[in-house]
């Protein structure tokens, strides 16, 4: 190997180290810790999405998506599928209003 590892090999090593820990966390962590894990995934996913789309300048959008994802998670955790469905409708309406105001 050269001075640096390929990005695919680095991802493989990360997955090999993290997947057993993730499995243990899900199995023995309980519902609250699992919800926290999902929340971290929402925040990381939002951050990655914003950077992949090249919209780093849209910091407000990243915050909006993170807040709406957090609302959906809390609704699902405390109210089940009905709460999740309601929060997804709310999130959709908020995003439509945001887009209408942004691109008028």
pLDDT digits (tens, 9 = 90+) for 23-76: 888 788 888 888 888 898 888 888 888 788 776 666 777 888 889 999 999 999
Does 2 have pLDDT greater than 60? no
pTM of the prediction?
0.68
Report yes or no: 34 and 26 within 8 Å, Cβ to Cβ.
Answer: yes
Higher-confidence residue: 14 or 91? Answer: 91
| Assigned token pair, 57 | 């300048």
Pairwise CA distance, residues 104 & 94, whole Å: 15
Sequence spans of domains, the chain: 29-102
Higher-confidence residue: 9 or 104? Answer: 9
Higher-confidence residue: 36 or 1? Answer: 36
Dihedral sign computed on CA atoms, order 26, 92, 64, 78: negative
Q: Nearest-CA neighbor of 77 among 44, 45, 32, 43?
A: 32
Report yes or no: 42 and 75 within 8 Å, Cβ to Cβ.
Answer: no
Pairwise CA distance, residues 50 & 58, whole Å: 8
């Amino acid at each position: 190997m050269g001075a640096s590892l390929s990005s695919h090999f680095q991802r493989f090593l990360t997955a090999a180290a993290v997947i057993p820990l993730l499995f243990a966390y899900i199995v023995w962590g309980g519902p609250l810790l699992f919800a926290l894990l999902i929340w971290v995934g929402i925040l990381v996913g939002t951050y990655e999405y914003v950077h992949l789309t090249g919209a780093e300048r849209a910091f407000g959008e990243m915050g909006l998506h993170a807040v709406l994802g957090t609302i959906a998670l809390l609704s699902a955790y405390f109210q089940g599928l009905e709460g999740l469905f309601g929060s997804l409708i709310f999130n959709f309406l908020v995003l439509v209003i945001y887009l209408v105001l942004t691109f008028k």
